[in-house]
A and B are shown apart, each in its own frame.
Chain A
Amino acid sequence: MRQEGLLRHATTRLLGLVPTLLILITIAFFLIRMAPGGPFDGEKVLPPEIRANLDANYHLDEPLLQQYFRYLGQIITGDFGPSFQYKDWTVNELIAQGFPVSATIGGLAMLLAFVLGTLIGTLAALRQNSAVDYSVMGVAMLGISIPNFVVAPLLILVVAVYAGWLPAGGWDWSWQRMVLPVITLALPVIAYIARLTRGSMIEVLHSNYIRTARAKGLPELLVIRRHALKPAILPVISYMGPATAALITGSVVIERIYSIPGLGSYFVQGALNRDYTLVMGVVVFYGVVIVVLNFIVDLLYAWLNPRIRYDVT
Chain B
Amino acid sequence: MTPTLHIKQLLVCSLLGLVACSDQESDFGRPLEQRSHPVDLVLLEDGRPDPSVLAADQVVRRGNGEEPETLDPHHALGVPASHILRDLFEGLTAESPDGELIPGAALRWNISRDARTYTFYLRRDMTWSNGDPLNAEDFVYSLQRALDPATASSAARILLPIQNAREVLAGELPVEELGFSLLDEFTMQITLTGPTPYFLGLLASPVAYPVNRKNVEEFGDQFSKTGNLVSNGAYVLKEWKPRVSIELEKDPNFREAGQVLMERVFYIPSEDASTEVKQFRSGELDWTNEVPNNQFKWLQKHYPDELVTSPWMGSYFLGFNLTQEPFIDNPSLRMALTLAIDRQIITDKVTQFGEQPSFALVPPGIDGYVPFSPEYADWTQEERDHEALRLYEQAGYSDENPLRIEIRFNTSDNNKKIALAIASMWKQALGVNVTLVNEEFRVFLQNREQKVITQVFRAGWISDYNDPYSFLELFRTGHGRNDYGYSNPSFDALLDEVGTERVRARRERLMFEAERVLMSDHVIVPVFTYVTKRLVNPRLKGWQNNVMDHHPSRFMFMLKSRNPDIQGEQQ
Residues of A within 8 A of B (CB): 35-38, 40-47, 49-50, 52-54, 56-57, 82, 85-89, 94, 97-98, 153, 156-157, 160-161, 164, 167-172, 255-259, 261, 265, 269, 272, 274
Contacts and interface: CB of A to CB of B under 8 A. Distances in A.
A47 B166 contact: yes
Contact of A261 (B169, B242, B461): B242
Contacts of A57: 152
25 contacts: A35-B443, A38-B442, A43-B445, A43-B461, A45-B479, A47-B160, A47-B169, A50-B157, A50-B169, A54-B154, A56-B152, A82-B221, A85-B69, A87-B72, A88-B225, A97-B242, A98-B243, A156-B278, A168-B282, A170-B244, A170-B245, A171-B244, A259-B272, A261-B241, A261-B243
Contact of A36 (B75, B222, B446): B446
A169 B275 contact: yes
B481 A43 contact: yes
Given A53-B152, A88-B221, A168-B282, 12 more contacts: A36-B442, A37-B446, A43-B445, A49-B149, A50-B153, A52-B170, A156-B278, A164-B282, A171-B244, A256-B275, A261-B241, A261-B243
Nearest to A57: B152
Contact of B157 (A36, A47, A256, A259): A47
Contacts of B443: 35-37
A49 B170 contact: yes
Contacts of B279: 167-170, 259
B69 A168 contact: no
B368 interface: no
B244 A41 contact: no
Contact of B284 (A38, A85, A167, A257): A167
Majority DSSP secondary structure for residues of B touching A: loop
B70 A41 contact: no
B169 A170 contact: no
Contact of A86 (B150, B152, B242, B274): B242
A224 B284 CA distance: 48
A94 to B, nearest CB: 7
Nearest to B152: A57
B442 A41 contact: yes
A161 B445 CA distance: 39
Among A87, A97, A274, residue most surrounded by chain B Cβ atoms (within 10 Å) = A87
Interface of B: 67, 69-72, 75, 77, 149-150, 152-154, 156-157, 160, 166, 169-171, 221-222, 224-225, 241-245, 268-272, 274-275, 278-279, 281-282, 284, 440-443, 445-446, 461, 464, 479-481
Contacts of A171: 243-244
B71 A88 contact: yes
A168 to B, nearest CB: 4
Contacts of A258: 275
A95 to B, nearest CB: 11
A196 B152 CA distance: 55
Contacts of A53: 149-150, 152, 169, 171
A50 B154 contact: yes
A261 B66 CA distance: 11
Nearest to B245: A170
A89 B445 CA distance: 27
Nearest to B448: A43
B264 to A, nearest CB: 16
A164 B284 CA distance: 11
A168 B278 contact: yes
A87 B268 contact: no
A295 to B, nearest CB: 31
B221 to A, nearest CB: 7
A48 to B, nearest CB: 8
Contact of A170 (B160, B171, B284, B440): B284
Contacts of B77: 42
A22 B149 CA distance: 35
Contacts of B67: 86
Contacts of A153: 274, 278
Contacts of B278: 153, 156-157, 160-161, 168-169
A82 B281 CA distance: 37
Nearest to B443: A36
Contacts of A46: 154, 157, 480
A42 B152 CA distance: 16
Nearest to B224: A88
A42 B72 CA distance: 20
Contacts of A87: 69-70, 72, 75
Contacts of A52: 170
Contacts of A42: 77, 445
A135 B354 CA distance: 48
Given A36-B443, A88-B221, A261-B244, A45 B281 contact: no
B481 A170 contact: no
A256 B243 CA distance: 11
Contacts of A157: 278
Among B150, B152, B274: residue with most chain A CB under 10 A? B152
A50 to B, nearest CB: 6
B69 A86 contact: yes
Given A45-B480, A45-B481, A161-B282, A94 B242 contact: yes
B85 to A, nearest CB: 12
A54 B242 contact: no
A89 B284 CA distance: 27
A157 B295 CA distance: 14
B147 to A, nearest CB: 10
Nearest to A37: B442
Contacts of B243: 97-98, 171, 259, 261
